[in-house]
């Protein structure tokens, strides 16, 4: 008899101020964040993610805040921010509101880098499209051959 895999629903936990927050298993967090389990562990090990809460059995339980932070990390990584710069950003966030100006400067620098990379890619795409147009015009001038079985 085959066992059926069942997706566990998030559990609610009461935090210090009395508000309930969702807690997610590593598998749910992988699905929600798009990061692999190995990446989540690596990010925790290098300090991009603060130590994750643990359930009574020692299993990791990710919070809504963790999921939101992972979304920010996905954005930064997806736009090409190096891990070392992401670590700096994470440290600044942990250091509190006194680092807002530094965080802003870091993100503005990153945004400028993203803009420059986009401009570079647009130029490269223009060259690719020129070659596509060349091949299409070349093929349009020649008769196509029929293939026989």
Domain at 74, CATH number:
1.10.1660.10
Residues 105, 88, single domain; the answer is no
In a domain, 2, yes or no: no
Domain, as residue range, for 110: 101-142
Report if residue 54 sits inside a domain.
yes
Assess if residue 3 is contained within a domain.
no
If one counts the domains in the chain, the total is: 2
User: Is the whole-model pTM more than 0.85?
Assistant: no
Shared domain check, 28 and 84: yes
- 70-101 per-position pLDDT tens digit: 999 999 999 999 999 999 999 999 999 999 99
Task: Mark whether 110 and 89 lie in a shared domain.
Answer: no
| Alpha-carbon dihedral 86, 89, 94, 97, rounded to 10 degrees | -160
- Per DSSP, the chain holds a count of helices (H) and strands (E) of 5, 4
Same domain, yes or no, for 25 and 82? yes
pLDDT digits (tens, 9 = 90+) for 18-60: 444 678 999 999 999 999 999 999 999 999 999 888 888 888 8
Q: Which residue has the higher pLDDT, 5 or 80?
A: 80
């Amino acid at each position: 008899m085959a066992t059926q895999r069942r997706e566990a629903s998030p559990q609610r936990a009461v935090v210090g101020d009395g508000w309930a927050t969702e807690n997610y298993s590593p598998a749910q967090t992988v699905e929600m964040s798009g990061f692999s389990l190995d990446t989540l562990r690596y990010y925790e090990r290098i300090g991009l993610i603060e130590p994750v809460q643990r359930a009574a059995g020692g299993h990791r339980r990710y919070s809504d805040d963790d999921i939101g932070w992972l979304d920010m990390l996905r954005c930064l990584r997806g736009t090409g921010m190096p891990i070392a710069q992401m670590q700096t950003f994470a440290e600044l966030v942990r250091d509190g509101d006194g680092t807002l100006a530094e965080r802003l400067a870091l993100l503005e620098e990153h945004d400028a880098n993203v803009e420059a990379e986009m401009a570079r890619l647009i130029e490269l795409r223009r060259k690719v499209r020129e070659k596509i147009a060349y091949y299409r015009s070349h093929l349009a001038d020649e008769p196509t051959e029929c293939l026989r079985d």
